[in-house]
A and B are shown apart, each in its own frame.
Chain A
Amino acid sequence: MSTPPNRSGHAPPVASGPESTSSTGTRVLGAAALVGLALSVVYGLFVSPPDAQLGETIRMIYTHVPTVSVAYVAFVVTAVSSAMYLWKRTEFWDLLGASSAEIGVVFFVLTILNGALWGKTTWGVFWRWEPRLTTSAVLLLMYIGYLAVRAVPADTRVRATRCAIVGLVAVVNIPIVHKAVDWWRGLHQGRTVLGTIDPEMGGNQLVAMYLSLATGLVVFVWMLLHRFRVAYLVERAADAGLEEALAERRAERGTPSVEVAP
């Protein structure tokens, strides 16, 4: 962050902070993510064979499973952060929870788009009231609500508390939504991929699956680190803006200003 021109001649009220959101750690993670993505493409699209039942559409699962897994991991991180915020009341947990929720929503949207496209190729329709699709739609709306609360301008502490409460309430609801939707659609069998067919995976199919899953998680950590650092810098910029505004008002009124600690 560069130092803004200082009209009133006071010490620059800008907190010294990092110039970018990357670090050695994120660069290594980013490189690993790129390699993982390249390998996933090779394995998912070329090396692994089509499925006996699903045919070529099994390849969509190699993106579907990572995105949905990342979304759920993100929502769990948000829930843990929310609980930790209510306990510790530190900015760290607030920003971590919010950053994670945002990424979770992005991945959930990708999951639903992917599922709808899979539905179009397999069932001929974009949407069926299939248990997993239905559950995803409800959960997505819940977390969009979280982001809506986040977007309401408020004092940092007030906003953090509101978000922590929504984050906790939403995660408690996840198993209930699952249960209700499963019973509603009469689904009693165990876990299946995309709810209808459970492909027998073997060899390179499993490699493609776990490779893309691992890559998805690396991408998540990489995005989370960057998003968290952006959120942190936004807070510091807001602080600096406030300090500057205060200094300007003091200068206008001719009262002696309080120097901001360097």
Chain B
Amino acid sequence: MIRDAALVAAKDLRLELRARVGMGQVLPFAVLVLLLFAFALDPDRGVLERATPGLFWVGVLFSSVLVLQRSFGVEAEDGILDALRLSGMAPAAIFLGKVAALVVQLAVLEVVLGVGVVVFYDAQPAHAPLLLSVAATATLSIAAAGSVYGALSARLRSRDTLLPMLLLPLLAPVLISATRGFEVGLEGHAGGGWSWVALLGVFATLYLALGAFLFRPLLEDA
């Protein structure tokens, strides 16, 4: 199971390293979003500083839709999903592999966006352990929920519009929790922040379990 998941994850990451779609297109898009926020919200009135946690996570969410479309778009072409199904690997292992590869890609994205908000918005990462915990649980949540809906919409002609429509409302609580957690973390007193980490942890666990359970019908019928 773990070995199969690692195989799928390694395949995805190798694909990504060779094609560099994420590096070449999604990362610049994420940085572009940060710049657009600065244009939309006057940088001289302190709005950007106050909104930094929210803008960071909105940037992550929008970019993650692109990463997901790429991750499952390559599977939908040439009947690769069927090939994966016939490979004899457990659907849950395939799911976990996809999630693992997505977590790595989203982590890279978040590092770039993190540097972006430090440079452009003058954010101060005051409480690193809390910020990292929020980021880890939120990333896992996005990857787990995103993989379920990514696989569901992969073979649809309308997937480009359907995926964000399905996924973004689902991730609304993740956006709220991650934003609040980051707010606390940037202010430097972790106290109330850990309950957000706990909520994100519950979310991630639920969606990992749900995805592992739902991936069989997803691969077979959807």
Chain A interface residues toward B at CB < 8 A: 86, 138-139, 141-142, 144-145, 148-149, 152, 154, 157-158, 160-162, 164-166, 168-170, 172-173, 176-177, 179-181, 183-184
Nearest CB of chain B from residue A139's CB, rounded to whole Å: 8
Take A148-B162, A165-B217, A184-B180 as given contacts and tell me if A176 and B173 are in contact as well, using a CB distance cutoff of 8 Å.
yes
Q: Size class of B's contact patch?
A: 20 to 34
User: Do A148 and B177 touch (CB < 8 A)?
Assistant: no
Please list the residues of chain B having a beta carbon within 8 angstroms of any beta carbon in chain A. 145, 148-149, 152, 156, 158, 162, 165-166, 168-170, 172-173, 176-177, 180, 195-196, 199, 202-203, 206-207, 210, 214, 217-218, 220-222
Q: How far is the CA of A258 from the CA of B34 in the complex (A)?
A: 64
Taking a contact as CB atoms closer than 8 A, the residue among A141, A148, A157, A180 that contacts B173 in the complex is A180
Tally A-B pairs: CB < 8 A. Answer: 86
A173 and B170 contact, CB distance less than 8 A = yes
Looking at chain A's contact residues, the main secondary structure is helix
**Residue in contact with B156 in the complex, picked from A152, A161, A166, CB distance below 8 Å:** A152
How far does the alpha carbon of A144 sit from the alpha carbon of B168 in the complex, in Å? 12
Beta-carbon contact of A170 and B177 below 8 Å: no
Which residues of the other chain, A, contact B162 by a CB distance below 8 angstroms? Answer: 145, 148-149, 152
Measured CB to CB, the nearest residue on chain A to B164 is A145
Is there contact, CB below 8 Å, between A138 and B218? no
Q: Specify which of B165, B176, B218 lies most central, judged by the most chain A CB atoms within 10 Å of its CB.
A: B176
Among B170, B176, B217, the residue within 8 A (CB) of A161 is B217
Pairwise interchain contact A176-B203, C-beta atoms closer than 8 A: yes
A154: min CB distance to chain B, Å: 8
Do B217 and A177 touch across chains, with their CB atoms under 8 A apart? no
User: In the complex, which residue of chain B has the Cβ closest to the Cβ of A176?
Assistant: B173
Point out the residues of chain B lying under 8 angstroms from A148, CB to CB. Answer: 162, 165-166
